[in-house]
Each structure stands twice: as structure tokens, then as C-alpha cells.
Chains A and B, each alone.
Chain A
Amino acid sequence: MSLLPKDVAKVAHLARLALNEADIPKYSENLTNILGFIEQMNEVDTSHIEPMAHPLDAHQRLRPDVVTEHNQRELFQTLTLHTEAGLYLVPQVIETKIEE
């Protein structure tokens, strides 16, 4: 599988990464090589293998339904200059949001 410059642009958009136009051919070459390298995986038949998501065969632990965190807005909002009236500011969201 090769990642042509137009594919790189598509993936970069999906990942919301601005790339310098001039760097795209290099990314295209690098990523194509990496994908080629990754495709060595196809040498092994895995049709009867269960996928493994986690190194440990453990289950999710649960915590009690108790409020433990309290307002730290002031502290957290020292991390950005872009707040007003306690809200984080972003360029106007033009489209009406679809609840996902």
C-alpha cells in the first residue's frame, strides 16, 4: 500500500494536522515505507487468533458513585489565555452542532 501525497493530505485532515506543502512528498515517501514495513504482518496467518487489546487478562474496576472533585476552574484556566466568563474561547463554531 502506498500513501500518495493526496492520501497524506486526507489523513492529515482527518488527524487535523497542517503540513507544509513542501514536506508532503517526504511524508508520502516515509509513510509509504512504514506501511510497507508494517505489511510484513501479512506473512502470518491469524485467521484463528483472538485479537488482544490488553496485556493483562483483567476486568474493569469500578469506583463508587461519589463526588470527589471540586471546582478548580481558576487553576485550570491559568493554562490558557483564551477564556471569558469561565468559558473556553474558540473561533466561532459556524455549523450547528450535531449531538454525536
Chain B
Amino acid sequence: MEWEAVIGLEVHAQLSTQAKIFSGAATAYGAAPNTQACAIDLGMPGVLPVLNQEVVVMAIKFGLGVNAQINKHSVFDRKNYFYPDLPKGYQISQFKQPVVGEGYIDIQLDNGEIKRIGITRAHLEEDAGKSLHEDFSGMSGIDLNRAGTPLLEIVSEPHLRSATEAVAYLKTLHALVRYLGICDGNMQEGSFRCDANVSVRPKNQKELGTRAEIKNVNSFRFVEKAINYEIERQIEILENGGKIVQETRLYDSVRNETRSMRGKEEAHDYRYFPDPDLLPLVFDEALIESIRASLPELPEQKRQRFQAQYGLSAYDAIVLIANQDTAAYFEQVVNQGVSAKLATNWIMGDLAAALNKDGLEINQSPISAEQLAELLKRIEDNTISGKIAKTVFEAMWQGKGSADEVIAAQGLKQVTDTSAIEKVIEEVMAANPEQLADYRSGKDKLFGFFVGQVMKLSKGKANPQQVNDLLKTKLHG
């Protein structure tokens, strides 16, 4: 039987505010345990929550970014359950009336096709703290610094059909929240987390299969692996006549498998009800409009513009716009008069590799966009070859000066003087009489040998095109 996977994602994006959603404690990552947990975050007796205005602005920005209905009247509810990292015994969330309603985003599939993915809703809520399970003489330690950090939970429709689509959706969403400046997107620190609802059904069947919810998938790579594992697991069960149990499963990245959360099967009864300490969140159209006016160019708009304005392929455009800083860097290079294609290749190639190796973000690059442009212009005006440019780039990376300075200092300027190149060719021919004879008797393959020798003798500085042309004439005698 042919099977079809149906996937929906729930993403928790940590909103990048200074203070917490309901208290004035800081949200900075990595502070000593419980030093950023104030009386409100600790759920002390008598304290009360007051909503941070910035989270409202951020939620509206998100709603606009996904073309969603923005609910001008929304309500905060309490989700009640006991857990040591949940100090009040309830989480403040939005259950029946979320601030962001239905919307969508468009993702691009590998075949270049655009697919529209529905967003069911997005709601504001507070994060919980952390339980540390290292042994404190048989106890667990609770750090409540993260408690009360603002989250936007973004729920997609079950419109995704493969792990690849799920990753494309996640990456699109990831780029969007970073463009909007509402989330730093740092997956290692847990600022952008994902749960996946996965089910399978026979192709062409309308009804959805029973789904499993996979928790704890916190990198793009793991999302893909976890979903693929889960799809296969479910198909195998169904093909053997089994039934899928609706349950929560945990992804284990070390063993690459999902496991049932045994012992957690006790049905949760969260007893949601409107939080009486908070009033309905209400705002007017004017606020939405003022936020709309302040929005930056969003990834989708930028992708379209890059393709139209710079003649980039969809693939190149998507890679460049994934990060706002990369896109800006690209545009600065191109604005210096460098061709878009050359700029793209270098930014996505050598620059990305060097940044990655040194663990730097593009805005920390030791080579500025202007400096890279200078280098690339030297390729375009034939001062140096692409190969020599790599040497120059390496020197620039190490802080040995600008492109022109490195070229001058190391004498890397390309030789384009025909007579000079001819002189080198003659030297090579004289030094290799046997190969020359073989070539002339029909061994065409030796042409490469001569190119290599010429380049070697010229220390790579001879213009490769000219070397080719001149060699052909000379070798034929």
C-alpha cells in the first residue's frame, strides 16, 4: 500500500524581550540559577501578573508576518497542572481566544514549487523553569530563571506531507521570526523549539490517521530524522496489522528513535479557565496599522525582489535571505558594482565556510562587504584569477590588509602580457621535449599537463584563458 504522512508542527518561539511576560525580571540567558526569578516568577503568595506590552507588539508583528487574522480581543487562561518547574501550579496561556488567529506562510519545496502552509493560531504564554537531574544527593534541582519568559506558540495546520516539507516550513518560520526581530532563533538555547504531530494514512484516504506527538526535537536536522523515523515506525505497525496509539513520544537523538513517554499516559486534565488576575487583552486597529507600517521587508518579499532585481535562482535567493544580515551583506557587495552571481558564489562559498570554521556570525566577519567587493572586482577586472583570489581571501581573513594591499605585497597580480606568457610557454616546451613529441603525435590528453606546468612556472599568476589560447597555438607548432 502507498502511504501518506500528515504532519503538523507546534513551534515555541521565545520572544526576545528584556523583561518577562508578567514580571520585571530579566530574561537574559545563562544567569546563575534563580537569580532572575523574582517573587512573581516564583509564585509567591499575593503577587500578581502584569502584561509586558512588548510581547503584544511582537505577537501582532508575527500575525502580520503570516497574513493572519489578529484578534483584537483575546483572553489569558490558566492551564493547571503540578510540576516542580511550574511554580504557581498553573501556566498562564491562551486557550480559547488566542491573539493570533488563522494565517499562512508559503514555503518553497525542493522542486522549486511553492506550497502554502496554514497557521491555525499563535498564542502568548509563559515558559516554565528547568529541572536539573544531576544528582543532588538523590534530589532534582529546580532553576526558575526561565519561568515567565514570554513564548509565542505557533500551531500549523496538518498541511505538511514529509519531513523535508516540515523542515522547509520550520526554516521559513525561523527566518520570519528573526526578520521580525521577535525571536533570536537560537535553537541550542531553546529559543526556538518544535513539537511535531505525525500520522500516516493510505494515500487518497481523506480521514486522518491516529497521531503521535513528538517532543524535544530541537534542531532542523533532528526534526527531519525524528519525523522520518516516526513515519516509518507507524507504517510498519500499520502494515503488520497493528494500531497506532495516540501518545506523546520523545525523540532520542543519540539513538535516532522516538520513544513512548511511559508513565505519562495518565490523561491530563488541565482545567483551563480564564485567569482572574488578568483582564482581556484588547487593542484597536490603529495599533495594528502602526505596527504594520514599521515592519521590515519580510523574507518572502525579499526573495522575490532578489530574484527579480539580481536575476538569482530561487535556490540562491532562499539561501541568501534566510538570514537578514547575510542578505544585507550581499546587497552591500553588489552595490559596489560586483556581479550578483559572483557575490552569491563567494558569500555562500568561501565566506560561509570561513565564518563557519571560526564560529562567527556574518556581522562579525573580519572581511567587510566593502572589502570583499574590492577582492571580487579584482577577479572581474582580471587583476587576479579566481584561484589566486582564494589566497588573497585567506590573507585578508588573517588581517593582512585589503585585497589590493595583499595582491601588491605578495606580487599576485595576474600576468596578462602575451609576450610574457609566451616566454613561459617556450620555457616549458623546452624543458619537456618528450611530452611535446607525444602530444604532437596525437596524445591530446597531455594538454592539461602543459597548462599545469605553465601555471606552476608563473606561480599561478598567468591568466588561465590566455594560457589556454596561447598553448594551443604554440603546441601545434
Q: Is B105 an interface residue (CB 8 A)?
A: no
Which residue of chain A has the shortest Cβ distance to B41 in the bound complex? A69
CB atoms of B39 and A65 under 8 A apart: no
CB atoms of B280 and A60 under 8 A apart: yes
Count chain B residues whose beta carbon lies closer than 8 angstroms to a beta carbon of A. Answer: 66
CB atoms of A65 and B34 under 8 A apart: no
Shortest distance between the CB of A67 and any CB in chain B (Å): 5
Q: Is B222 an interface residue (CB 8 A)?
A: no
Q: Is B382 an interface residue (CB 8 A)?
A: no
A-B contact count (CB 8 A): 147
CB atoms of B278 and A95 under 8 A apart: no
Shortest distance between the CB of B252 and any CB in chain A (Å): 10
CB atoms of B34 and A53 under 8 A apart: no
Count chain A residues whose beta carbon lies closer than 8 angstroms to a beta carbon of B. Answer: 40
Q: Is B8 an interface residue (CB 8 A)?
A: no
Main SS of the interface on chain A?
loop
CB atoms of A93 and B140 under 8 A apart: yes
Q: Is B26 an interface residue (CB 8 A)?
A: yes
Which residue of chain A has the shortest Cβ distance to B19 in the bound complex? A67
Q: Is B352 an interface residue (CB 8 A)?
A: no
CB atoms of A100 and B91 under 8 A apart: yes
Within residues 13 to 59 of chain B, which ones have a CB less than 8 A from any CB in chain A?
17-19, 23-26, 32-40, 42, 44, 50-56
Q: Is B254 an interface residue (CB 8 A)?
A: no
Contacts of B195 in A (CB 8 A): 99
Shortest distance between the CB of A64 and any CB in chain B (Å): 6
CB atoms of A93 and B131 under 8 A apart: yes
Shortest distance between the CB of B236 and any CB in chain A (Å): 24
Measured in the bound complex, the distance between the Cα atoms of B33 and A84 in whole Å is 10
Measured in the bound complex, the distance between the Cα atoms of B25 and A69 in whole Å is 5
Q: List residues of chain A with CB under 8 Å of any chain B CB.
A: 14, 16, 53-54, 56, 58-69, 71-73, 76-77, 82, 84-100
The 3 closest A-B pairs by CB, nearest first: A87-B141, A68-B24, A62-B53
